[in-house]
Amino acid sequence: MEKKPVVVGVDIGGTNTVFGFVDRDGNIIAEDRIKTNHYSDIKDFVASLYEKIMEAYKRIESGHEIIGYGIGAPMGNINKGTIEHAADLPWKGIIPLSDILSKHTPLPIIVTNDANAAAVGEMIYGGAKGMKDFVVITLGTGLGSGFVVDGKLVYGHDGFAGEIGHTSIRPGESNRDCGCGKKGCIETYASATGLKRTLLKVMADSIEPSPLRKFSFEELDAKIIHDAALEGDHIAIRAFEHTGKMLGFKLADVVAHTNPEAIFLFGGLALARDLIFEPTRRYMEQNLLSIYRGKVKLLESALSTQNAAVLGASSLIWSLKEHQ
């Protein structure tokens, strides 16, 4: 029997690294994950990841053959196969990820920004099918973005387009330190971590009782705040409102740059649905120039949180194959 070719799609996030074996039609044959933040050394991380991939591969090897590795990671650079100064990952400086993985395998490896990978996934398999101009915003530990213009992913001159998570919300000083070394980056507000930070601020300003006052910063996550908001907790609702205000403000900038047909919100925070979409849409519209108002769709990603980046990352290898 001829083996079916599959690509290993890998999504490296601040907390988890998810991978899957993806066939040409976007079916994920098998998937698994390892904890990103358990590895302080990148070589150990890559060795463990490769081992885990091989373990999973054994179970499907009789019918499938790996033809390459597509990897999405924060600050992933497609030109150089590196991860560079990623604020949300344990490894600092410039990480030659592609070189390190190529010690384990001779197959083609492509590295790109995780949000770029999600955008390609959305375009090929998700809600952006048939769209030529759209943006995907990933709201996880940090905030990532991937821009598609005229049907093609924007990489930019140095391969680093779409890092709007580190644009600032105002000139000069803001109080919020960002992992990137700057202050007031939008991801310090509009991300799962940003929501927690805003919750603490609201809690500090308010005297209202709330069950959330029982949780430590480390115990809190977007899901806990989401559940509290659904129960009508005012502090949680105000934290979502402020998060949407900051995100909506920045999305108005996104519209004025590339005038997309739609903006997709993706990742843990997007699962809060109306709690985040409603204020984001309201503040985006408020900040839009009249020519754009009411025209740009703010949509939920049509792919599951786990899948989009894995699918997108894998599709980079498929398109490489098809252009060869």
- Which parts of this chain interact with a second copy (CB under 8 A)? 75, 84-85, 132-134, 147, 149-150, 152, 154-164, 166-171, 180-182, 245-246, 249, 252-254, 256-261, 283, 287, 289-292, 295
Q: Is the CB of 140 or the CB of 244 nearer to a second copy?
A: 244
Read off the amino acid at residue 99: D
As measured in angstroms, the least distance from the Cβ of 207 to a second copy is: 24
As measured in angstroms, the least distance from the Cβ of 171 to a second copy is: 4
Q: Is the CB of 33 or the CB of 282 nearer to a second copy?
A: 282
As measured in angstroms, the least distance from the Cβ of 82 to a second copy is: 10
CA distances in angstroms from 218 to 190, 206, 230, 295, listed in the order given: 18, 21, 21, 39
As measured in angstroms, the least distance from the Cβ of 271 to a second copy is: 24
Q: Is the CB of 50 or the CB of 292 nearer to a second copy?
A: 292
Q: Where are the beta strands (DSSP E) in 85-142?
A: 94-95, 109-113, 134-139
Distance in angstroms (rounded) separating the CA atoms of residues 62 and 59: 8
Buried residues in 111-125 as b, exposed as e (16+ CB within 10 A): bbbbbbbbbbbbbbb
Q: Is the CB of 91 or the CB of 155 nearer to a second copy?
A: 155
Sign of CA dihedral 298, 302, 308, 313: negative
Read off the amino acid at residue 10: V
Q: Is the CB of 180 or the CB of 269 nearer to a second copy?
A: 180
**214: Cβ–Cβ under 8 A, 6 or more apart, which residues?**
none
CA distances in angstroms from 280 to 31, 161, 233, 261, 286, listed in the order given: 33, 23, 19, 16, 10
- Give the residue carrying structure tokens 């995100």: 247
- For residue 123, give the nearest of 322, 318, 321, 274 by alpha carbon: 318
Read off the amino acid at residue 320: L
As measured in angstroms, the least distance from the Cβ of 154 to a second copy is: 5
As measured in angstroms, the least distance from the Cβ of 136 to a second copy is: 13
Contact 277, 251 (CB under 8 A): no
Q: Is the CB of 102 or the CB of 168 nearer to a second copy?
A: 168
As measured in angstroms, the least distance from the Cβ of 232 to a second copy is: 26
Q: Is the CB of 156 or the CB of 211 nearer to a second copy?
A: 156
Q: Is the CB of 75 or the CB of 228 nearer to a second copy?
A: 75
As measured in angstroms, the least distance from the Cβ of 225 to a second copy is: 21
